[in-house]
Structure 1
Amino acid sequence: MIPIQNLYYLLCYAWNRLPEAEELQAVSGAEFRRPLALLAHVLLRGTTRLLHQGLPLRYTERTEELPELRGRVLLDPTLRRQLLPRGRAVCAFDELTPSSPLAGLLRGTLQVLSRSRAVPPELRRQIRAGLRRFPAAVEALPLTATTLRLVRRERPRGLSGFLLNVCELVYRSTLPAPDTASPARFRDFRRDEPLMARLFEQFVRNFYRLEQRQFRVSSETIAWQAEAATPEALALLPAMITDTSLESPARKIILDTKYYAAALKRHHDQARLISPHLYQLYAYLQNQPMQPDQQLDQQLEGILLYPAAAQAIDLRYTLGGHPVRVVTIDLNQPWEGIAAALLGLLAER
Structure 2
Amino acid sequence: MVPIQNLYYLLCYAWNRLPEPDEWRQVAEQEFHRPLELLTQLLLVGTRRLLQQGLPLGYAEREEELTELRGRVLLTPTITRDLLRRGRAVCAYDELGPNTPLNRLLAGTLDVLGRTRRLPAPLRQEARRVRSRFPEGIEPAPLTRAGLRALRRLRLPGPEGFLLNVCGLIYRTALPDTDAEGRTRFHDFRRDEVLMAGIFERFVRNFYRLEQRRYRVLSETISWQAEADRAEDLALLPSMITDTSLESAERKIILDTKYYAAAFKAHHDRQRLISPHLYQLFAYLQNQAAQTTVPLEGVLLYPAAAHAADLRYVLGGFPVRVVTLDLNQPWPGIATDLLRLIE
TM-score bracket, normalised by the shorter chain, equals over 0.9
Deviation of 1:221 after TM superposition, in Å, equals: 0.4
Residues 156-194 of structure 1 show CA distances to partners (whole Å, capped at 9, x for unaligned) of: 121111111111111110112156742100000000001
Distance in 1, matches of 2:82 and 2:280, equals 71
Match of 1:311, as an amino acid?
Answer: H
**Structure 2 match to 1:302:** 298
Deviation of 1:120 after TM superposition, in Å, equals: 1.4
- 1:319 maps to 2:293: no
- 1:342 maps to 2:338: yes
Deviation of 1:154 after TM superposition, in Å, equals: 1.2
**Structure 2 match to 1:161:** 161
Deviation of 1:96 after TM superposition, in Å, equals: 1.3
**Structure 2 match to 1:203:** 203
**Structure 2 match to 1:228:** 228
Residues 40-90 of structure 1 show CA distances to partners (whole Å, capped at 9, x for unaligned) of: 010111112122222232222211112444333334422332224434322
Match of 1:104, as an amino acid?
Answer: R
**Structure 2 match to 1:72:** 72
Distance in 2, matches of 1:51 and 1:249, equals 47
**Structure 2 match to 1:31:** 31
Match of 1:265, as an amino acid?
Answer: K
1:119-134 matches, within 5 Å, as: 119-134=119-134
Distance in 2, matches of 1:224 and 1:300, equals 16
Deviation of 1:276 after TM superposition, in Å, equals: 0.3
**Which stretch of structure 1 is more off in the superposition, 201-210 or 147-156?**
147-156
**Structure 2 match to 1:288:** 288
Distance in 1, matches of 2:268 and 2:289, equals 38
Q: Secondary structure at the match of 1:94?
A: strand
Residue 16 and residue 180 in structure 1: after superposition, are their counterparts in 2 closer, same or farther (change >3 A)? farther
**Structure 2 match to 1:11:** 11
**Structure 2 match to 1:91:** 91
Count of aligned positions: 343
Deviation of 1:12 after TM superposition, in Å, equals: 0.3
**Which stretch of structure 1 is more off in the superposition, 232-241 or 68-77?**
68-77
**Structure 1 match to 2:142:** 142
**Which stretch of structure 1 is more off in the superposition, 210-219 or 23-32?**
23-32
Residue 180 and residue 238 in structure 1: after superposition, are their counterparts in 2 closer, same or farther (change >3 A)? farther
**Structure 1 match to 2:21:** 21
Over the aligned positions, Cα root-mean-square deviation in angstroms equals: 1.5
**Structure 2 match to 1:217:** 217
Residue 52 and residue 178 in structure 1: after superposition, are their counterparts in 2 closer, same or farther (change >3 A)? closer
Residues 92-145 of structure 1 show CA distances to partners (whole Å, capped at 9, x for unaligned) of: 222111211111111111111111111111111111110012121221111011
Q: Secondary structure at the match of 2:52?
A: helix
Match of 1:242, as an amino acid?
Answer: T
Runs of 4+ in 1 over 6 A off after TM superposition: none
Residues 199-229 of structure 1 show CA distances to partners (whole Å, capped at 9, x for unaligned) of: 0000000000000001000001000111111
TM-score calculated relative to the size of structure 1: 0.95
Residue 217 and residue 29 in structure 1: after superposition, are their counterparts in 2 closer, same or farther (change >3 A)? same
Residue 180 and residue 162 in structure 1: after superposition, are their counterparts in 2 closer, same or farther (change >3 A)? farther
Distance in 1, matches of 2:115 and 2:315, equals 55
**Structure 2 match to 1:332:** 328
Distance in 2, matches of 1:155 and 1:120, equals 33
Residues 224-250 of structure 1 show CA distances to partners (whole Å, capped at 9, x for unaligned) of: 111111111111111100000000011
Q: Secondary structure at the match of 1:96?
A: strand
Residue 85 and residue 338 in structure 1: after superposition, are their counterparts in 2 closer, same or farther (change >3 A)? same
Distance in 2, matches of 1:138 and 1:82, equals 30
Deviation of 1:39 after TM superposition, in Å, equals: 0.2
Distance in 2, matches of 1:71 and 1:325, equals 63
Distance in 1, matches of 2:32 and 2:213, equals 34
Distance in 1, matches of 2:82 and 2:239, equals 62
- Contact 2:104–2:138 (8 Å) recurs in 1: yes
Gaps of 5+ in 1: none
- Contact 2:178–2:184 (8 Å) recurs in 1: no
Residue 180 and residue 159 in structure 1: after superposition, are their counterparts in 2 closer, same or farther (change >3 A)? farther
